[in-house]
């Protein structure tokens, strides 16, 4: 049987896909500069551990970004449209902030550096808000899966650049030059925003800030199955997240692999497998559409947890480790493409900045509340049984997905699950 690959290739030729890829890079670049890379800089500079611990609060803007997302729905910059204008503003703030960090020092003024890093974190989380909204607004239904995949790819590559690569560069050219180079790389996002297109549909923004705050909630909860869809968001990747809570500890303490093994195979191979899985899954979505992709990829995500169970029963086996890491990350990448597509499909373009920020924050709730129980469960029933439980945890989400199939089929056709 001959398979027509033209529709798959056509998606990758889209200008939107190229722009979203590089915006993903711009979105991911600042994160490590205010977390892991900054922590390494402070450690090398001799800053005490208590101060370094306080700097972990710099992650708060990413958690609380939904609080100011209505501002980005309500107000329209006087250039480049409603979304791209805000993208440029946040990226200019990032360049200024990261450059200022380069000319400051962990010693003797760590809290000046903290203030600048907080500015960068706020600008970065604000950039995330508006890029997510732009991606939601500009991508057509057939482009969403691939768009989600290439965004994840750009984001992950950026994390590697501002994380591992930045640490290597700091040894060669120093911290100041490293941070200046990272600031310059934000230019990739500026060029992408300038080359981007506007959404096909012209949208009237909220008429007041009050509407921008309460309108997204009123609009969403006016839909049928609104609460069940929120529950699906919490449950869909819960089993995958639960298994991932202690993956590194399991590989080192539970099976006996070395830190080098984990760094090389789990992080290196896992990184490549996740990207390949996301792109493969996003491409399949051109044919499978949203519901079938969520179902098929969700089942594979659940089954991948059993590979960790098999590794726990097998013991220290490098072939089994390679298979487990590759399979889990590959299916996780596929699931991510479908899940992000679902979030985009659920947003009303008038309120996409606020609705996407709220929905993505809600998606993290399950992981935040269930992950702390993982250690207690492992100590009670052992590693193999723990991973079997994570396999079972995936089923409520799959059952709810099947129950909501008619609702999601309406989303595929551009509806907002109204009767």
> Is 142 found in the same domain as 51?
yes
Asked whether residue 169 is domain-assigned, the answer is yes
Question: What share of the chain has pLDDT > 70, as a percent?
Answer: 96
Q: What CATH number is attached to the domain comprising 362?
A: 1.20.1250.20
Cα–Cα distance for residue pair 19/135, rounded to 1 Å: 9
Cα–Cα distance for residue pair 268/258, rounded to 1 Å: 14
Cα–Cα distance for residue pair 160/46, rounded to 1 Å: 25
> Is 195 found in the same domain as 246?
no
Q: Point out the domain boundary residue: 205, 223, 253.
A: 205
Q: What is the pLDDT of residue 5?
A: 60
Asked whether residue 417 is domain-assigned, the answer is no
**Which residue in the block uniquely carries the two structure tokens 């989600």?**
148
Could you read off the pLDDT of 17-49 as tens digits, one per residue?
A: 899 999 999 999 998 898 888 888 888 887 777
Q: What distance, in Å, lies between the first and last C-alpha atoms of the chain?
A: 39
Provide the token pair at 408: 């999601």
Q: Point out the domain boundary residue: 205, 229, 260.
A: 205
Structural domain boundaries enclosing 122: 6-205
**262: Cα within 13 Å, side-chain hemisphere:** 14
Contact 275, 156 (CB under 8 A): yes
- The lowest-confidence range among 195-209, 301-315, 385-399 is 195-209
> Is 150 found in the same domain as 85?
yes
- The lowest-confidence range among 156-165, 205-214, 248-257, 401-410 is 248-257
Helices 81-102 and 110-138: crossing angle, nearest 10°? Answer: 160
Could you read off the pLDDT of 84-114 as tens digits, one per residue?
A: 999 999 999 999 999 999 998 888 778 888 8
Helices 383-393 and 395-403: crossing angle, nearest 10°? Answer: 10
Asked whether residue 418 is domain-assigned, the answer is no
Q: What is the pLDDT of residue 4?
A: 58
Average of per-residue pLDDT across 285-309: 92
> Is 257 found in the same domain as 187?
no
Q: What is the pLDDT of residue 229?
A: 94
> Is 184 found in the same domain as 48?
yes
Asked whether residue 210 is domain-assigned, the answer is no
Q: What is the pLDDT of residue 3?
A: 55
**Which residue in the block uniquely carries the two structure tokens 């890079």?**
25
Could you read off the pLDDT of 129-170 as tens digits, one per residue?
A: 999 999 988 888 888 888 888 998 999 899 889 888 888 888
With 0-12 CB in 10 A as exposed, 13-18 as middle and 19+ as buried, what is 109? exposed
Q: What is the 3-state secondary structure (H, E, C) of 321-337?
A: HHHHHHHHHHHHHHHHH
Q: What is the pLDDT of residue 372?
A: 78
Kindly report each contact of residues 398-405 with a partner whose C-beta sits within 8 Å and lies 24 or more positions away, as own/partner: 398/295, 398/298, 398/299, 398/302, 400/228, 400/231, 400/232, 400/235, 401/232, 401/236, 401/291, 401/294, 401/295, 401/298, 402/295, 403/228, 404/225, 404/228, 404/229, 404/232, 405/291
Positive or negative, the CA dihedral 402, 406, 409, 415 is negative
> Is 248 found in the same domain as 156?
no
Q: What is the mean pLDDT of the chain?
A: 87
Average of per-residue pLDDT across 214-224: 90
Cα–Cα distance for residue pair 324/318, rounded to 1 Å: 10
Rg of the chain on CA atoms, in Å: 22
Asked whether residue 419 is domain-assigned, the answer is no
Contact 242, 374 (CB under 8 A): yes
Q: Point out the domain boundary residue: 160, 177, 205.
A: 205
Q: What is the pLDDT of residue 202?
A: 80
Question: What share of the chain has pLDDT > 90, as a percent?
Answer: 45
> Is 220 found in the same domain as 141?
no
Average of per-residue pLDDT across 340-366: 88
Positive or negative, the CA dihedral 386, 378, 376, 241 is negative
Average of per-residue pLDDT across 172-200: 91
333 band by pLDDT with thresholds 50, 70 and 90: very high
pLDDT at 195 over 60: yes
Q: What is the pLDDT of residue 364?
A: 79
- The lowest-confidence range among 93-97, 236-240, 394-398 is 236-240
Asked whether residue 326 is domain-assigned, the answer is yes
Q: What is the pLDDT of residue 335?
A: 92
Asked whether residue 273 is domain-assigned, the answer is yes
Provide the token pair at 125: 């989380």
Asked whether residue 396 is domain-assigned, the answer is yes
Contact 337, 220 (CB under 8 A): no
Contact 135, 23 (CB under 8 A): yes
> Is 388 found in the same domain as 242?
yes
Contact 325, 257 (CB under 8 A): no
Domain count, the chain: 2
> Is 199 found in the same domain as 230?
no
Q: What is the pLDDT of residue 419?
A: 42
Q: What is the pLDDT of residue 255?
A: 85
> Is 93 found in the same domain as 162?
yes
Q: What is the pLDDT of residue 402?
A: 95
> Is 267 found in the same domain as 177?
no
Q: What is the pLDDT of residue 411?
A: 84
Could you read off the pLDDT of 38-83 as tens digits, one per residue?
A: 888 888 887 777 777 777 778 888 888 889 999 999 898 988 888 8
Q: What is the pLDDT of residue 12?
A: 67
> Is 99 found in the same domain as 248?
no
């Amino acid at each position: 049987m001959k398979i027509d690959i033209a529709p798959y290739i056509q998606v990758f030729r889209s200008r939107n896909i190229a722009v979203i890829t590089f915006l993903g890079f711009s979105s991911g670049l600042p994160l490590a500069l205010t977390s892991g890379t900054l922590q390494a800089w402070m450690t090398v500079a001799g800053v005490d551990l208590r101060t370094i611990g306080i700097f972990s609060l710099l992650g708060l803007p990413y958690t609380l970004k939904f609080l100011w997302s209505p501002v980005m729905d309500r107000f329209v910059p006087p250039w480049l449209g409603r979304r791209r204008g805000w993208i440029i503003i946040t990226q200019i703030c990032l360049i200024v902030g990261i450059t200022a960090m380069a000319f400051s020092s962990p010693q003797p003024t760590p809290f000046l550096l903290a203030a600048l890093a907080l500015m960068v974190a706020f600008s970065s989380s604000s950039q995330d808000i508006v890029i997510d909204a732009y991606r939601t607004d500009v991508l057509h239904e057939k482009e969403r899966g691939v768009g989600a995949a290439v965004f994840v790819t750009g984001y992950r590559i950026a994390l590697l650049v501002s994380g591992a690569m930045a640490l290597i560069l700091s040894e060669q050219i120093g911290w100041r030059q490293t941070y200046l180079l990272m600031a310059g790389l934000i230019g990739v996002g500026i060029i992408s925003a300038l080359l981007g297109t506007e959404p096909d549909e012209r949208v009237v923004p909220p008429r007041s800030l009050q509407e921008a705050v309460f309108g997204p909630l009123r609009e969403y909860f006016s839909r049928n199955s609104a609460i069940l869809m929120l529950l699906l968001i919490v449950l869909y990747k819960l089993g995958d997240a639960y298994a991932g809570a202690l993956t590194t500890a399991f590989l080192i303490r539970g099976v006996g692999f070395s830190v080098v093994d984990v760094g090389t195979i789990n992080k290196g191979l896992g990184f490549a497998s996740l990207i390949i899985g996301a792109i493969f899954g996003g491409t399949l979505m051109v044919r499978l559409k949203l519901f079938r992709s969520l179902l098929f990829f969700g089942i594979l995500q659940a089954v991948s947890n059993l590979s960790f169970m098999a590794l726990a029963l097998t013991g220290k086996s490098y072939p089994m480790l390679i298979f487990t890491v590759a399979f889990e990350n590959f299916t996780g990448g596929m699931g991510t493409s479908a899940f992000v597509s679902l979030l985009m499909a659920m947003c009303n373009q008038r309120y996409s900045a606020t609705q996407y920020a709220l929905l993505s924050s809600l998606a993290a709730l399950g992981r935040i509340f269930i992950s702390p129980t993982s250690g207690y469960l492992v100590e009670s029933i052992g590693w193999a049984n723990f991973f079997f439980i994570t396999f079972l945890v995936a089923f409520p989400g799959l059952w709810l997905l099947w129950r909501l199939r008619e609702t999601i089929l309406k989303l595929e056709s551009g509806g907002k699950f109204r009767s």
